[in-house]
């Protein structure tokens, strides 16, 4: 029973594991800062060669800077790995799409021409109802042939206008950056919630762009058709997501995903721990002496 309770607690709070691990690491380094000494000395030497570094961190002695650089380094490694994984997945996804490309039906070409998408449109012969924006350098809009056959003129216009907004804003690239930044901030439990909120705002903005050229009922009908059949688009694609917020928006009650209070409190607590450790290391004057005349004295 105790074991099951512990497992249940862990399943509910495992997203806090990076925060707890980071806080423990920071406290340990503040108490035993020896692993930070090489980085601190290296930074001190750089200050001698490039005094602007000392000016930029005038109130942060090298040992404190070493701690912050270590945390930033962890974030960059995790964020870079996440971005590379997503990028590779996107390129593979784009290659798979080419195998399903077919000539654009006349009805789809007509609607796309009215919206200025005729040169950036891909019609897919794969089964299912889906529409999404994909690609980074030159984004395109993909629509399955089944979806074209399912929707009427106004609904198809709403779908293409929604995806046109994603295309114009290069949202596949924006989503990749958001994913990388969220992964880089993995130690803060609030980061995924902020990412989801920003992604939802992008979806609602695309819906507003669609409503500027199509009736509300047409967009709602297209959304219903896609959501009742779609299992999810591939990585690197911006399609119909943030479902509950979009439905609420169409119903006249716009709402964004909330930021969990516990995640916000845990993230704030982690910032307090890091800040306290930085201050504590800054007062450890007996550890490494600064020799750069521009720096704040000792660490």
DSSP state of 33: -
Residue 2, domain member (yes or no): no
More confident residue, 227 or 153: 153
Lowest mean pLDDT segment, chosen from 176-180, 260-264, 293-297:
293-297
Higher pLDDT, 298 or 146: 146
Q: What is the mean pLDDT of residues 48-74?
A: 81
Burial of 98 (0-12, 13-18, 19+ CB in 10 A): exposed
| Predicted local confidence at residue 293, as pLDDT | 46
pLDDT, tens digit, for every residue of 142-193?
999 999 999 999 999 999 999 999 999 999 999 999 999 999 999 999 999 9
Band (37; pLDDT cuts 50, 70, 90): confident
Q: Is residue 114, in this structure, part of any structural domain at all?
A: yes
* Rounded distance between C-alpha atoms, residue 267 and residue 77, angstroms: 20
Determine the pLDDT at residue 159.
93
Q: How far is the C-alpha of 14 from the C-alpha of 205, rounded, in Å?
A: 33
The reported pLDDT for the residue numbered 6 is 45
- What integer pLDDT is reported at residue 176 of this predicted model? 92
Q: Which residue has the higher pLDDT, 106 or 60?
A: 106
CA–CA separation, 260 and 243 (whole Å) = 19
Question: DSSP class of residue 34?
Answer: G
| Cα 131 from Cα 68, distance rounded (Å) | 43
Name the domain count of the chain: 1
Helix (H/G/I), strand (E/B), else coil: 214: coil
Asked whether residue 139 is assigned to any structural domain, the reply reads yes
**Following DSSP, what letter does each residue of 154-178 receive, concatenated?**
HHHHHHHHHHHHHHHTTHHHHHHHH
Q: What share of the chain has pLDDT > 70, as a percent?
A: 83
C-alpha span between 113 and 100 (Å, rounded): 22
In a domain, 116, yes or no: yes
Q: What's the mean pLDDT when you consider all of the chain?
A: 82
Question: For residue 171, what pLDDT is reported?
Answer: 92
> Helices (DSSP H) in the chain: which residue ranges?
2-13, 17-31, 37-49, 51-56, 62-98, 106-114, 145-150, 153-168, 171-184, 191-211, 216-227, 243-250, 261-282
What is the Cα–Cα distance from 69 to 36, expressed in whole angstroms?
A: 10
Predicted confidence (pLDDT) at residue 19 exceeds the cutoff of 60:
yes
Q: State the maximum Cα–Cα separation within the chain, in Å, rounded to a whole number.
A: 78
Domain presence at residue 138: yes
Cα separation, 259 vs 257, in Å, equals: 7
pLDDT exceeds cutoff 70 at 240: no
Q: Is 203 part of a structural domain of the chain?
A: yes
Contacts 24+ apart (CB under 8 A), 273-277: 273/23, 273/26, 273/27, 274/26, 274/67, 274/68, 274/71, 276/30, 277/26, 277/27, 277/29, 277/30, 277/67
Average pLDDT (268-277) is: 93
**For residue 294, pLDDT beyond 50:** no
159 in Cβ contact with 151 (< 8 Å):
yes
pLDDT at 275 over 60: yes
* Continuous segment of H or E residues that includes residue 117: none
Residue 260 in domain: no
pTM above 0.95, yes or no: no
Rounded Cα gap, residues 148 and 226, in angstroms = 11
| Structural domain span for residue 110 | 93-250
Would residue 60 count as lying in a domain? Answer: no
């Amino acid at each position: 029973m105790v074991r099951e309770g512990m497992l249940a607690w862990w399943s509910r709070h495992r997203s806090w594991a990076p925060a707890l691990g980071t806080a423990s690491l920071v406290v340990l380094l503040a108490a035993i800062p020896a692993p930070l000494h090489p980085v601190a000395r290296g930074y001190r030497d750089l200050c001698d060669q490039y005094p602007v570094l000392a000016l930029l961190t005038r109130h942060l002695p090298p040992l404190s800077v070493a701690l912050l650089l270590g945390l930033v380094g962890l974030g960059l490694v995790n964020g870079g790995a996440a971005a590379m994984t997503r990028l590779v997945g996107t390129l593979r996804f784009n290659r798979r799409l080419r195998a399903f490309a077919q000539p654009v039906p006349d009805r789809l070409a007509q609607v796309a021409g009215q919206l200025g998408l005729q040169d950036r449109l891909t019609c897919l012969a794969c089964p299912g109802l889906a529409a999404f924006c994909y690609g980074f350098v030159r984004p395109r809009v993909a629509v399955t042939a089944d979806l074209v056959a399912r929707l009427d003129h106004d609904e198809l216009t709403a779908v293409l206008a929604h995806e046109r907004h994603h295309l114009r804003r290069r949202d596949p690239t924006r989503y990749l950056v958001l994913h990388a930044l969220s992964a880089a901030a993995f130690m803060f439990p609030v980061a995924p919630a902020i990412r989801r909120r920003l992604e939802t705002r992008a979806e609602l903005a695309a819906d507003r762009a669609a409503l500027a050229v199509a009736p509300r009922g047409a967009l709602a009908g297209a959304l219903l058709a896609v959501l009742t059949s779609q299992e999810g688009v591939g990585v690197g694609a911006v399609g119909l997501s943030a479902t509950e917020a979009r439905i609420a928006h169409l119903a006249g009650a716009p709402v964004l995903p909330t930021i969990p209070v516990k995640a916000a409190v845990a993230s704030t607590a982690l910032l307090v721990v890091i800040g306290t450790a930085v201050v504590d290391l800054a007062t450890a004057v007996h550890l490494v002496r600064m020799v750069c005349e521009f720096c704040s004295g000792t660490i």
